[in-house]
């Protein structure tokens, strides 16, 4: 999901003097450009992989296996983005970015990878497709922004495609978690019961249900935030300076 | 005076400043002594609904006291029905209940008789946030410690004895610091002074630490974790430590800013480390 932050810079606390972060330095910019180009390329690989597999098999079924490895690699690689915020070369909130990346990583590893039976579900294709298109647009948006040559088309795409892709991704994610529930309950996956030495218990099944419920307050907030951002960014035809 | 013309903005929620981006004026500031000419312009900001610190503390501390006891006495609908109103067969569970209850009773008494608050009030929404934190964690910890399937510490009596010593030592330490801080401030005043070690050995830690009340609090909960050997207690200790570190660093920075001669050897919360 795209991270849109404004003015979440550390300079807002006022206990330090006029120390304004002027954005990343030259070295950091070069690194970020490389990072975003690599990520764009990676998600393009996944997109191409999906298309080729579909053409080869003639059906939507089981396409996950054809892109399993690059998906894991590039989605997990996004953890670096948390580091970028923490170090300050990207002006986003660490908490917000962390939350978004962790939710993706959670779905990739703790649900799809961990529960074999779920991998052939069509809902997996639904969210993988949504993620793929979103990320290709998002990373190319960042790349062009860093180079100060942002084509309007990319900006438009970033702030428009989400209208369909976001609900699509959320549906795929929820359906996948839902499909995983019976297997988790049956096998007691990632669950700890009493009695044990550390007097702790964890029921992964209940946890997954809580995760699903959490989408209810969270999804509308994030969705309408993007809609507001869209009005602001695309609402006028003048060019605004780089908006994250 | 402002309150008369705008009754919904009682004094506690008024923030008055001379400059929109400046700091708020204090309650004690006198008009004659302010840097203004024959006419003065004040800027008002609504701080939102307020609630007194004392009210918040009493509410957030009474919760854990009561909630823990509900689990200790195994009130119905928590554990399986056959365990209703039974008591644990492990003596450490009884000890843990005494320690936990003592801790919160101490906090309540300190709130009523010891602490001298700088601010009368805080934003109302804090009470919901704070109570969720304290009450939630208390329930989570109490559930496991008082569970019929609770497993006592691996090293038995030795471990529990050591843990109890640490807990009591840190409780006394924490209380000593609260008394020392109270004595820095005459009744009804809001003065701030650098705290120094007193005759009480438990305050000698002021030589090395700015906020030893937090240091001792961490120690108490480490003791309780060791006593109960319960992972949720360890989590609670960790989260509390993280929050207290943030507060300690803030307080330490304020001390440094306000006092030129602040002792350089001191760390915010952990001697030499943090």
Residue spans of alpha helices (H) in chain B: 2-5, 53-72, 91-113, 125-145, 156-183, 212-228, 231-258
Q: Which of B149, B231, B253 sits opposite A198 (nearest CB)?
A: B231
Q: Are B124 and B48 in contact (CB under 8 A)?
A: yes
Question: Residue B120 in contact with residue B51, Cβ under 8 Å?
Answer: no
Check residue A213 and give its pLDDT.
Answer: 96
pLDDT number for residue A10: 40
pLDDT of A169: 95
Helix (H) or strand (E) holding B51: strand B50-52
**Distance (Å) from the C-alpha of residue A203 to the closest C-alpha of chain B?**
14
ipTM above 0.85, yes or no: no
Q: Decide if A199 and B228 are in contact by the 8 Å CB cutoff.
A: yes
The mean pLDDT of A174-178, rounded to a whole number, is: 97
pLDDT above 90 as % of chain B:
67
Minimum Cα–Cα distance from B226: chain A residue: A198
Percent of chain A past pLDDT 90, that is, above it, reads: 76
Return d(Cα B174, Cα B244) in angstroms, integer: 14
Question: How many angstroms separate the CA of residue A176 from the nearest CA in chain B?
Answer: 30
How high is the mean pLDDT of chain B? Answer: 90
Confidence of residue B270 (pLDDT cuts 50, 70, 90): very high
Q: Which residues of B210-220 are buried (b: 16+ CB within 10 A; e: fewer)?
A: bbbbbbbbbbb
CB-nearest partner of A200 from B154, B232, B253: B232
> How far, in Å, CA of B234 to CA of A164, rounded?
44
Q: Is the pLDDT of residue B214 over 80?
A: yes
In tens, the pLDDT along B190-202 reads: 778 889 999 999 9
User: CB contact, 8 Å: B147 with chain A?
Assistant: yes
The pLDDT > 70 percentage for chain A reads 86
Report the distance separating Cα B220 and Cα A132, nearest Å: 50
Task: Provide the CA B163 distance to its chain's centre, in angstroms.
Answer: 21
- Give the pLDDT of residue B5: 72
**Which pLDDT tens digit goes with each residue over B89-124?**
999 999 999 999 999 999 999 999 998 887 778 888
Highest mean pLDDT among A31-35, A59-63, A100-104, B258-262: A31-35
Which of A94-98, A99-103, A127-131 has the highest average model confidence (pLDDT)?
Answer: A127-131
Contact A199 B154 (CB under 8 A): no
Residue B1's pLDDT is 64
Check CB contact under 8 Å for B147 and A199.
yes
| Location of structure tokens 């006291």 | B65
CB-based contact (8 Å) between B228 and chain A?
yes
Q: What is the mean pLDDT of residues A41-69?
A: 95
- How far is Cα A7 from Cα A93, in angstroms, rounded to an integer? 9
Tokens at A33, concatenated: 């450009």
* Res A236: pLDDT: 63
- For the ranges A85-89, B14-18, B107-111, the lowest mean pLDDT is seen at B14-18
Residue B13: pLDDT band (50, 70, 90) is confident
The answer to whether residue A173 is catalytic is yes
Which whole number is the average pLDDT over A214-238? 86
pLDDT of residue B17: 78
| Chain B CB contacts of A199 below 8 Å | 144-145, 147, 150-151, 228-232
Phi, psi of B133 (to 5 degrees): -65, -55
Answer whether A194 sits within 8 Å of B149, measured CB to CB. Answer: yes
Residues 6+ apart with CB under 8 A from B233: B141, B145, B221, B224, B225
Chain A CB within 8 Å of residue B57 CB: no
Closest approach of chain B CAs to the CA of A16, in angstroms? 11
Q: Which residue of A has its CA nearest to B235?
A: A200
HSE of A165, CA atoms in CB hemisphere, 13 A: 21
Contacts of A201 in chain B (CB under 8 A): 144
What are the structure tokens assigned to B272, written together? Answer: 């030499």
**Interface contact A201, partner B, CB < 8 A:** yes
Dihedral of the alpha carbons of A150, A156, A157, A163, in degrees to the nearest 10: 150
Considering chain A, what is the average pLDDT of its residues? 88
The residue of B149, B153, B155, B253 whose CB has the most chain A CBs within 10 angstroms, and thus the best one to mutate to test that interface, is: B149
Q: Does A199 touch chain B (CB under 8 A)?
A: yes
Average pLDDT over residues B151-170: 96
Q: What is the pLDDT confidence band of residue B8, given thresholds at 50, 70 and 90?
A: confident
Residue A213 CA: distances (Å) to CA of A241, B87, B206? 38, 36, 48
What spatial distance separates the first Cα and last Cα of chain A, rounded to whole Å? Answer: 13
Q: What is the pLDDT of residue B220?
A: 97
| Least Cα separation, residue A110 to chain B (angstroms) | 22
Chain B interface mutation, best of A193, A199, A201, highest count of B Cβ atoms under 10 Å: A199
Of B175, B222, B168, nearest to B203 by C-alpha is B175
Selected catalytic residue, list A64, A142, A166, A205: A166
Stated length of chain B = 274
Looking at residue A3, its pLDDT comes to: 43
> Residue range B233-258: average pLDDT?
95
The rounded Cα B171 to chain-centroid distance in angstroms is 13
Give B181's pLDDT tier (boundaries 50, 70, 90): very high
Tokens of B116: 């001298």
Looking at the complex, does the CB of residue A236 fall below 8 Å from at least one CB of chain B?
no
Distance, CA of A143 to CA of A140 (rounded, Å):
5
* Confidence at B35, pLDDT banded by 50, 70, 90: confident
CB-defined contacts A:B, below 8 A: 30
Asked if A197 and B151 come within 8 Å (Cβ–Cβ), the reply is: yes
How near does any CA of chain B get to the CA of A196, in Å? 6
């Amino acid at each position: 999901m795209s991270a849109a932050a404004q003015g979440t810079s550390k300079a807002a606390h006022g206990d330090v003097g006029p120390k304004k972060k002027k954005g990343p330095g030259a070295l950091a910019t070069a690194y970020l450009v490389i990072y975003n180009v690599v990520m764009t390329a990676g998600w393009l690989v996944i997109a191409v992989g999906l298309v080729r597999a579909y053409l080869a098999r003639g059906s939507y079924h089981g396409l996950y296996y054809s892109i399993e490895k690059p998906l894991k690699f590039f989605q997990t690689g996004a953890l670096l983005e948390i580091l970028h915020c923490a170090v300050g070369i990207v002006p986003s909130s660490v908490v917000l970015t962390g939350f978004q990346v962790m939710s993706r990583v959670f779905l990739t590893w703790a649900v799809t990878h961990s529960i074999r039976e779920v991998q052939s579900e069509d809902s997996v294709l639904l969210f993988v497709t949504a993620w793929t298109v979103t990320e290709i647009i998002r990373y190319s948006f960042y790349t062009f922004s860093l180079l100060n040559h942002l084509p309007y088309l990319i900006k438009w795409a970033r702030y428009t495609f989400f209208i369909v892709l976001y609900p699509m991704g959320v549906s795929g994610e929820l359906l996948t978690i839902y499909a995983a529930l019976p297997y988790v309950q049956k096998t007691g996956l990632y669950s700890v019961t009493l009695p044990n030495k550390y007097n702790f218990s964890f029921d992964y099944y209940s946890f997954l249900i809580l995760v699903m419920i959490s989408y209810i307050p969270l999804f509308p907030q994030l969705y309408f935030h993007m809609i507001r951002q869209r009005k602001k960014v695309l609402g006028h035809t003048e060019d605004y300076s780089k908006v994250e | 005076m402002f309150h008369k013309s705008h009754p919904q903005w009682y004094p506690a929620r008024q923030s008055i400043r001379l400059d929109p981006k400046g700091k708020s004026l204090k309650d004690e500031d006198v008009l004659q002594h302010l840097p203004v000419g024959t006419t003065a312009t004040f800027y008002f900001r609504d701080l939102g609904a307020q609630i007194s610190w004392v009210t918040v503390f009493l509410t957030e501390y009474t919760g854990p006291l009561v909630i823990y006891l509900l689990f200790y006495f195994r009130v119905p609908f928590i554990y399986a029905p056959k365990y209703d109103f039974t008591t644990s067969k492990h003596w450490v569970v009884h000890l843990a209940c005494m320690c936990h209850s003592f801790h919160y009773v101490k906090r309540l008494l300190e709130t009523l008789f010891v602490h001298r608050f700088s601010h009368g009030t805080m934003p109302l929404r804090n009470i919901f946030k704070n109570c969720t934190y304290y009450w939630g964690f208390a329930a989570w910890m109490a559930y496991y410690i008082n569970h019929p399937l609770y497993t006592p510490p691996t090293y038995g009596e030795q471990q529990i004895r050591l843990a109890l010593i640490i807990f009591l030592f840190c409780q006394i330490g924490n209380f000593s610091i609260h008394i020392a801080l109270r004595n820095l401030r005459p009744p009804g005043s809001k003065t701030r002074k650098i705290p120094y070690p007193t005759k009480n050995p438990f305050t000698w830690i002021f030589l090395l630490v700015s906020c030893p009340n937090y240091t001792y609090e961490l120690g108490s909960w480490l003791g309780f974790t060791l006593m109960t050997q319960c992972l949720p207690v360890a989590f609670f200790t960790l989260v509390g430590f993280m929050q207290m570190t943030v507060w300690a660093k803030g307080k330490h920075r304020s001390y440094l800013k306000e006092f030129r001669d602040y002792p350089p050897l001191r760390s915010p919360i952990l001697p030499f480390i943090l």
